[in-house]
């Protein structure tokens, strides 16, 4: 057992665990969806679970300003902007330019929420991100404010508690449904959801293996990133756990051309799932991960599995930013 650190209530949790009737095929495992797309309305998806712990930490250290970063359509930045608006904290976003400059999807909500927004070319962002974050924190300090810098995706030793807690929630979902799933799958983009679920699954004795489906980078990168987050968490909170014993598994076969860049099978999958089940997936995260999971089940990778849980981490606003890729017209 592990004791959770202090958190600020922000997410509508516990979220439902629902069976998805997608493949009418008896040879298939049952697919269950952990509806973390329902953690809120605007403030939806996986980042709000992480921010519950990050914000509690930031407030305790006297912060009145949150600085964070991500792509132009970052769900994490949108969630942080809304959390700040809700709690009366100033939010400063450092965004990486990608695709068009249209004020759309998550970026539209960042604006509605009144966040201060700065954008940088992908090159400049990549080369200078840490300096930029540190410099903005210093700027606020010289104005008499106290800023807390949240790393990409709130994936650090504090943020991953959100998914340690979710693993605990899943344990009781499984008891209520009298299931003992073989697999828990999530999209992995900055690694914190995967790290938290892996640590939480291990700490709570779940028999399910946690598998992260990468949406960028590669399996090696996420295996190392998750281990780093877990090790830092174990050290910072003095947990009686050996990080090396926590199983970490990443699949990187469905990234496609790169982060936030789709491919035809992905858009077909999103449309197929929406039209046959009513479930909305997004092209950046959940669509790639779910598509990968379906392909891997079909290929026999998880043969023998009876129940598989897919953690729906949200991202619905990102769907709007890529609407033209679907080619609909009147």
DSSP letters for 142-173:
HTT--EEEPPGGG-STTTTHHHHHHHHHHHHH
Calpha distance 132→121 (Å, rounded)? 13
SS3 at position 211: strand
To the nearest 10 degrees (0 to 180), the angle between helices 192-203 and 161-177 is: 50
Active-site residue (options: 74, 155, 190, 198): 74
CB of 285 to ligand PLP, least distance (A): 3
- Residue 192 interacting with ligand PLP (CB under 6 A): yes
- Among the listed ranges 19-27, 112-120, 182-190, 238-246, the one in contact with ligand PLP (CB under 6 A) is 182-190
Angle at 220 between CA 215 and CA 223, to 5 degrees: 85
For the segment 196-255, give every residue that binds ligand PLP (CB under 6 A): none
- Residue 34 interacting with ligand PLP (CB under 6 A): no
- Residue 75 interacting with ligand PLP (CB under 6 A): yes
CB of 82 to ligand PLP, least distance (A): 13
- Residue 191 interacting with ligand PLP (CB under 6 A): yes
- Residue 45 interacting with ligand PLP (CB under 6 A): yes
Query: How many residues make contact with ligand PLP (CB under 6 A)?
Result: 21
- Residue 310 interacting with ligand PLP (CB under 6 A): no
CB of 217 to ligand PLP, least distance (A): 10
Calpha distance 329→10 (Å, rounded)? 38
CA separation (Å) from 170 to 97, 156, 213, 294? 36, 21, 19, 21
41 carries an active-site annotation: no
CA 294 to the chain's CA centroid = 19
Compute the residue count for the chain: 330
CB of 129 to ligand PLP, least distance (A): 15
**Residues forming the active site:** 74
Residues that bind ligand PLP in the complex, under the rule CB under 6 A = 45-47, 75-76, 153, 155, 187-194, 282, 285-286, 313-315
């Amino acid at each position: 057992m592990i004791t959770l650190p202090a958190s600020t209530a922000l997410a509508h949790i516990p979220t439902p665990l629902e069976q998805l009737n997608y493949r009418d095929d008896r040879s298939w495992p049952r697919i269950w969806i952990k509806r973390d797309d329902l953690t809120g309305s605007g403030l939806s998806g996986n980042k709000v679970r992480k921010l519950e712990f990050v914000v509690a930490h930031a407030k305790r250290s006297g912060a009145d300003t949150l600085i964070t970063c991500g792509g132009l359509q970052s769900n994490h930045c949108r969630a942080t902007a809304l959390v700040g608006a809700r709690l009366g904290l100033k939010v400063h976003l450092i965004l990486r330019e990608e695709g068009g400059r249209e004020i759309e999807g998550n970026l539209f909500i960042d604006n509605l929420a009144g966040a201060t927004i700065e954008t940088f070319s992908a090159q400049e962002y990549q080369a200078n991100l840490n300096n930029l974050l540190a410099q903005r924190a210093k700027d606020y300090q010289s104005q008499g404010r106290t800023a807390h810098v949240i790393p990409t995706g709130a994936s650090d030793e504090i943020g991953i508690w959100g998914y340690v807690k979710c693993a605990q929630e899943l344990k009781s979902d499984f008891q209520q449904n009298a299931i003992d799933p073989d697999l828990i799958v999530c999209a992995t983009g900055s690694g914190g959801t995967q790290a938290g679920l892996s640590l939480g699954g291990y700490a709570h004795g779940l028999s399910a293996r946690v598998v992260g489906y990468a949406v960028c980078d590669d399996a090696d990168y996420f295996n190392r990133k998750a281990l780093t987050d877990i090790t830092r968490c174990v050290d910072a909170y003095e947990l009686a756990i050996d990080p090396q014993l926590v199983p970490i598994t990443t699949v990187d076969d469905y990234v496609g051309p790169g982060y936030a860049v789709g491919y035809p099978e992905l858009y077909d999958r999103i449309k197929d799932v929406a039209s046959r089940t009513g479930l909305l997936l997004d092209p950046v995260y959940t669509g790639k991960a779910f598509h990968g999971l379906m392909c891997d089940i079909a290929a026999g990778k998880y043969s023998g599995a009876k129940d598989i849980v897919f953690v729906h981490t949200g991202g619905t606003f990102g769907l709007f930013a890529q609407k033209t890729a679907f080619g609909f017209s009147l």
